[in-house]
């Protein structure tokens, strides 16, 4: 069975320092169903997250980010 990869943007309610960006990217990449995550160089308050939509939901990923103490919301889907 093939995976169905989807992506979406996450808006973080503050601009993160480079070390915070790396920490958040690593955390998101470790979440179930996530296949990739990266924060924009030009817009460090935005992160693109790619995930297997057969495995999980974007809302679950956003909730996991919020559970880590970030004010975040999904945009672009």
Determine the average pLDDT of the residues in 1-10.
87
**Nearest by Cα to 54 from 32, 73, 69:** 32
Task: Say whether pTM exceeds 0.85.
Answer: yes
pLDDT at 1: 58
Residues, the chain = 77
59 Cβ contact list (under 8 Å, min separation 6): 74
Determine the average pLDDT of the residues in 29-51.
95
Give whole-number Cα distances, 70 to 46, 52, 53, 62, in Å. 12, 23, 23, 10
Which CATH code, of 2.60.40.420, 3.30.70.100, 3.40.50.150, 3.90.700.10, is assigned to 5-75?
3.30.70.100
21 pLDDT band (50/70/90 cuts)? Answer: very high
Give whole-number Cα distances, 57 to 9, 17, 19, in Å. 13, 27, 27
How do the domains of the chain map onto residue ranges? 5-75
Q: What is the pLDDT of residues 49-69, one digit of tens each?
A: 999 999 999 999 999 999 999
77 pLDDT band (50/70/90 cuts)? Answer: low
């Amino acid at each position: 069975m093939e995976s169905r990869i989807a992506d979406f943007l996450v808006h973080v309610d503050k601009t993160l320092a480079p070390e915070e960006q790396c920490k958040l990217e690593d955390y998101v990449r470790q979440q179930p169903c996530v296949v990739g995550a990266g924060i924009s160089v030009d817009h460090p308050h935005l992160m693109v997250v790619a995930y297997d939509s057969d495995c999980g939901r974007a809302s679950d990923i956003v909730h996991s980010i919020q559970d880590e103490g970030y004010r975040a919301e999904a945009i672009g889907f």
